[in-house]
Structure 1
Amino acid sequence: MKPSNYYNKIAESYDRTRWLTAPIAEEVANFIIDLVSATPDTSFLEPGVGTGLNVIPLVKHGYSVTGIDISPEMLDCFRQKLGKVPSNLQLIHADASRLLFQDHSFDVVLTVHMLHAVSDWKALPEKWV
């Protein structure tokens, strides 16, 4: 089964099967912000953003966040959580092994439970693996 089909099928129940609650996500986001010495201009990329569990706190804090996912259904679940997608969030339906961004397009790249799901992981940029 293709990863996109798998994630499309589990999108609606995905959050209920994860340990990451909103308070923990906020705590993790604050740790990341401190770790990278984020400023208001710091930009974040999360390939495999899924339903946004990891980055919603960053979005709510006003950081520029780009989320990419191979599953349109996962991205739809993310959008539903926010009601209206804020201007500091860009969601892109794409394959993480084929990103078209130039080097240094983002200050911070977060990968959480994503690399193991990339079917063509050898196509990822060498510096990622």
Structure 2
Amino acid sequence: MSDQLAAVADYWDTAADSFDEEPDHGLGEERTRAAWARALAGWLPPGPAEVLDAGCGTGSLSLLLAEAGHRVTGVDLAPRMVDRARRKLAAAGLPGRFLHGDAGAPPTGEDTFDVVLSRHLLWTLPDPEAALRQWVSRLRPGGRLVLVEGRWRQASQRDTPYVAGADRLPWNGGIRAEELAAAVRPLVADLRIDPLAGDPDLWGGPVDDERYALVARV
């Protein structure tokens, strides 16, 4: 693991204990939880699917996916995030496989998936375009790539990077929808952008920055 990835892993490991306090992370409020469940249902195919949750964090979206009957594999760079995800699904009595590793190059061997889902991860990666290629390569024919991303207002207000060197990350602070679409379009058969900033239930309140889902099919 590079020094930069190690620093990122340490940051999110330290954040694991308080991560779920954010409304859209822990999904503790029923309205927020229901909003994400509806959104996932609109992005994923009907019926049980094999889903790779890349950058699964504490497993809140993985839990919603498992509740909907999907078979989930979660990957995260931070071991304590992975541990929390495992415990979250176990407490709910639901199956899920969680792996510690680089979500940009998931340690899933030759496994392929019907869906690769990633939320708010690309901005943390040293080579996000390589991650996009990796994720598309893990999809079965007709599979879906679902990227929940944005361009964060806080990025322009941050005086120092969240970890050393983060200001040099290619997509630090997020990426605009049209820029991400341009990066993904050569890898897929078709894509669409679903704006998300206008649904306060997803975020636990109103937001005034750019948030969206890119949904693509290979």
Q: TM-score, normalised by structure 1?
A: 0.80
CA distance in 2 between partners of 1:64 and 1:107 (Å): 10
Residues 8, 73 of structure 1: 8 Å contact kept: yes
Q: 1:104 to 1:25 in 2, by over 3 A?
A: farther
Which range moved further: 115-124 or 73-82? 115-124
Secondary structure of the equivalent of 1:44?
strand
Point out which structure has higher relative CO (alpha carbons under 8 A, 6+ apart): 1
How far the C-alpha of 1:123 sits from its partner, in A, is: 3.2
The code of the aligned residue for 2:73 comes to: T
Residues 52, 116 of structure 2: 8 Å contact kept: yes
Residues 62, 88 of structure 1: 8 Å contact kept: no
Residues 12-61 of structure 1: CA distance to partner in whole angstroms, max 9, x if unpaired?
A: 01111343424323432233223333212x11111100101222111123
The partner residue of 1:30 within 26, 38, 43 is 38
Residues 8, 72 of structure 1: 8 Å contact kept: yes
CA distance in 2 between partners of 1:19 and 1:124 (Å): 24
CA RMSD, 1 decimal: 2.7
Residue of structure 2 in register with 1:14 after alignment? 19
Percent of aligned positions with the same letter in both sequences? 27
1:50 aligns to 2:50 (yes or no): no
CA distance in 1 between partners of 2:93 and 2:101 (Å): 20
Structure of higher CA gyration radius = 2
Structure 1 residues without counterparts, runs of 5 or longer: none
Give the number of aligned pairs: 128
Structure 2 residues without counterparts, runs of 5 or longer: 137-144, 146-182, 184-218
Residue of structure 1 in register with 2:101 after alignment? 94
CA distance in 1 between partners of 2:61 and 2:38 (Å): 11
The partner residue of 1:109 within 106, 116, 141 is 116
CA distance in 2 between partners of 1:61 and 1:27 (Å): 14
Q: TM-score, normalised by structure 2?
A: 0.50
CA distance in 2 between partners of 1:46 and 1:122 (Å): 17
Residues 80-121 of structure 1: CA distance to partner in whole angstroms, max 9, x if unpaired?
A: 323458674110101022225578811111110111111333
1:79 aligns to 2:86 (yes or no): yes
